[in-house]
Structures are given as C-alpha cells and as structure tokens.
Amino acid sequence: MKKYTKSARKNEVERKWYVVDARDMILGRLSSEVASRLRGKRNPMFTPNVDTGDFIVVVNADKVRLTGRKWTQKTYYRHSGYIGGIKAITAEKLLQKRPEDLVRIAVKGMLPKNRLGSAMLKKLKVYAGDQHPHEAQQPETLSL
C-alpha cells in the first residue's frame, strides 16, 4: 500500500480573517508571527508552493515598538533608478510619515522573494489607527 502526502490546491484553501493589535508590540516579533500566518505555516494543509495563508489586518501600527537605538540607527533605503537617486529615511521619521510602511516592510522581508510572496503580501492590511474597513469579513482577534 502506497502512502502519500496530500498537497493543497489553490481552490481548496479556506482563508480566515484575523485582526492583530500592534499596540506596544516589538516590530520583529510581530512581523515574524504575521508572516508565518500569511504564509500558512500553521495550516495543516500547508504546501510550500501554494498560498495557503490567512488574511491579516494589523491595527495600531503607529504604536509599535523597536528595541535599543533602532529608532535612530535603523535606516530604510529606496532608489529612484537614476544615478545618485538613493533615498534614506530612519525608522523614527518613517513612523511619523507612514507608520503602516514600517510593519509592511518588516513583513515583506520575511516572505518569499517571488510571485507567491507578492500574493501573500496582498493579504496583509495595515492601518495606523484602531479602525479598519474589514468588519464585513468578521475577523477574529488574534493575540500574539
């Protein structure tokens, strides 16, 4: 008798919605757990080449914490594509300008760097305040 592992298919995956409150949470610990849920690692039907993850809504992204001196020392870079077009911004200034990007960039770095990772990142919804427009999906509260 031959035994085999059943692989998940794209149309068989049941996705749930979860809300995570980022208030007073450390950014790296929050991001690693969110990335794991987006990827579907806790799903018994986890398949590495299929997006089996859930939808995650992160609220209070503007109240996330960093340890040590990372607020002033951690720098995020982007490039315009032109010569000399590199731009840099510290974590402290990024929190003031776009607090959602602080969480989104951290989670993006923990997902696969391919089309599948891009599809997983689209299931992440990040909001600076405690309000979000996804009440119709009846998300469950996730305590990390």
pLDDT score, position 3:
77
Q: Give the confidence band of 49 by pLDDT, cuts at 50, 70, 90.
A: very high
**pLDDT tens per residue, range 99-126:** 999 999 999 999 999 999 999 999 999 9
Residue predicted with more confidence, 5 or 97: 97
Q: Residue 55: pLDDT above 80?
A: yes
User: Could you write out the three-class secondary structure of the chain?
Assistant: CCCCCCCCCHHHCCCCEEEEECCCCEHHHHHHHHHHHHHCCCCCCCCCCCCCCCEEEEECHHHCECCCCHHHHCEEEEECCCCCCEEEEEHHHHHHHCHHHHHHHHHHCCCCCCHHHHHHHCCEEECCCCCCCCHHHCCEECCC
**pLDDT tens per residue, range 10-46:** 899 999 999 999 999 999 999 999 999 999 999 999 9
List the domains of the chain with CATH numbers. 16-141 (3.90.1180.10)
